[in-house]
Amino acid sequence: MTPAFEKLQKHLKQLPGLGYRSAERIALHLLVEKPARLAELVSALEAAAQSVRRCAQCGNLAEAELCPICADGQRDHGIVCVVEHVPDLTALERSGAHRGVYHVLHGKLSPIGGVSPADLNFGPLFTRIAAGEVHELILALSNDVEGEATCHYLTERLPAGGAIRVSRIGFGLPSGGGVLYADAVTLKSALAGRREYS
Per the prediction, the chain carries an average pLDDT of 90
Whether the pLDDT of residue 192 is over 90: the answer is no
Residue 106: DSSP 8-state: S
Which residues is 110 bridged to in the sheet? Answer: 115
Residue 172: predicted pLDDT: 64
Helix axes 86-95, 184-192, angle to 10 degrees: 90
CA distance 58 to 105: 8
Residue 188: predicted pLDDT: 74
Residue 79: DSSP 8-state: E
Domains of the chain (ranges; CATH) run: 3-51 (1.10.8.420), 71-196 (3.40.1360.10)
Residue 81: predicted pLDDT: 97
Q: How many Cα atoms within 13 Å fall on the side-chain side of residue 26?
A: 18
Long-range Cβ contacts of 150-156 (<8 Å, 24+ apart)? 150/84, 150/105, 150/108, 150/109, 150/120, 151/197, 153/109, 153/117, 154/82, 154/122, 154/125, 155/197
- Predicted TM-score of the model (pTM): 0.79
Cβ-Cβ contacts under 8 Å for 18 (sequence gap 6 or more) = 12, 26
Residue 47: predicted pLDDT: 94
pLDDT digits (tens, 9 = 90+) for 5-59: 899 899 999 999 999 999 999 999 988 998 888 889 899 999 999 999 999 999 9
- 177 by Cβ neighbours in 10 Å (0-12 / 13-18 / 19+) ranks as middle
Which residues is 115 bridged to in the sheet? Answer: 110
More confidently predicted of 11 and 1: 11
Strand pairing report for 76-83 and 136-139: parallel
141: helix, strand or coil: coil
pLDDT digits (tens, 9 = 90+) for 139-148: 999 888 899 8
The distance between the two most distant Cα atoms of the chain, rounded to a whole number of Å, is 66
Lowest mean pLDDT among 64-68, 156-160, 177-181: 177-181
CA distance 153 to 133: 20
Q: Which of 125, 185, 129, 121 is nearest to 161 (CA)?
A: 129
